[in-house]
Structure 1
Amino acid sequence: MDHHLPVDVRGSIRLFAFYIANGTLDMELLDGIDYKPEIMAFGSALEQVFAIFANVLQVDEQGEVVNHGDAQYRAAQWVRMVCDPSYVVEPPFEPWETELA
């Protein structure tokens, strides 16, 4: 039995990390928002962003990611909410989406 994450999942996580570090996470939703200082100043905010991404990410029976864009968008919504208190997340986060495992 293979105990590693499927290649597609690892690639999706790597790409997500690149977007966060590069300042290009969901360019449309976060246009004009310099989120990096806010979420990278303390580990807990960055931890929450990755938790949301990982909790929302889905894979099929072959281990292929089926909703990278949706997982990235939900994480970006949380970032926007942190940086812009007037932003309303729609739909609101479900408890399972923000759970830290």
Structure 2
Amino acid sequence: MEDDLVTHLPTDVRAALRLFAFYLGNGTLEVELLDGIDYRAHLLVFGSDLEMIFAIFCNVLEVDEHGHTLNYGDAEYRAAQWVRRRCDPAYQVEPPFEAWETELH
């Protein structure tokens, strides 16, 4: 991203968001962590959960100076941990979420 003014999200970031949304909506987000949990109905009932899931994903996602994503898997996993915690109150998020991860912009 050589220009100071960015008019569109970089292609890699758009692809990461699209893929994340696909897995989330398809019920295949972080299959190992969310195995056996059908979280989709829960997300539709409580819209603020969906908002927080995308906030965490976007806050954790890192992008280099060329607009390439650096840690898609980490961002997806942290968002999946939020989903797991909302669906399974006994689940302990490790490490606990930091304030910047859950900040709404």
TM-score range, shorter chain: over 0.9
> What does residue range 13-92 of structure 1 map to in structure 2 within 5 Å?
13-92=17-96
Structure 1 residue 28: Cα displacement: 0.4
Q: How high is the sequence identity, in percent, across the aligned residues?
A: 66
Alignment RMSD (CA, Å):
0.8
Scaled by the length of structure 1, the TM-score of the pair is 0.97
Q: d(CA) in 1 for partners of 2:61 and 2:10? A: 13
Q: Which runs of 5+ in 2 are unaligned?
A: none
Q: How many residues align structurally?
A: 101
Q: Which runs of 5+ in 1 are unaligned?
A: none
| Aligned counterpart in structure 2 of residue 93 of structure 1, from 82, 93, 97 | 97
Larger radius of gyration: 2
Q: Deviations over 1:3-29 (max 9, x none)?
A: 110000000000000001100000000
Q: d(CA) in 1 for partners of 2:104 and 2:91? A: 23
Structure 1 residue 40: Cα displacement: 1.9
